Amino acid sequence: MEFLSGAYLWIVAAHVIFVIFWMAGLFMLPRYLVYHQEALVAGRAEEAALWVEREGKLRAIILTPAMIVVWVLGLTLATIGHHWGEGWLHAKLLFVLVLSGYHGWAVGYAKTLARGVMRLDGRRLRMINEVPALAGAVIVVLVFVKPF
């Protein structure tokens, strides 16, 4: 990994770019789920089918590839920068795991909605949509302030 040390700032830049892509997808997919569920509740099957297609494209083109690149680049940065012993990194990784789990939950819920099954009401679905913003804010503080 030492051969990548000279590219550290380029890797940081790429990491931040893909974090932005991933976060955009994490904000968009739950909103799509709200619209999808509303179409199902209203009995608009054609519209619901369009949301299934949109959700699939978002997952395949942006969301999942960006998450994979974020993890690869983030772990690379932690290794190059010798950050493994630092508490802020452990806390950050915990929140990134939470976001990854949220990602998995949203993908799973999209597949559940595609089968016509609604497990949450619209209010709860909208509230869950705030998870990425809260986790993202904590991650930014951990990375830049490094409180421990």
131-148 pLDDT per residue, tens: 999 999 999 999 999 999
Q: Give the residue numbers of the binding site for heme.
A: 15, 92
Q: Which amino acid is at 35?
A: Y
35-79 pLDDT per residue, tens: 999 999 999 999 999 999 999 999 999 999 999 999 999 999 999
Distance CA 55, CA 37 (A): 12
Q: Give the residue numbers of the binding site.
A: 15, 92
Main-chain phi, psi angles of 147, to 5 degrees: -65, -15
Whole-model pTM over 0.75? yes
pLDDT above 70 (res 103) = yes
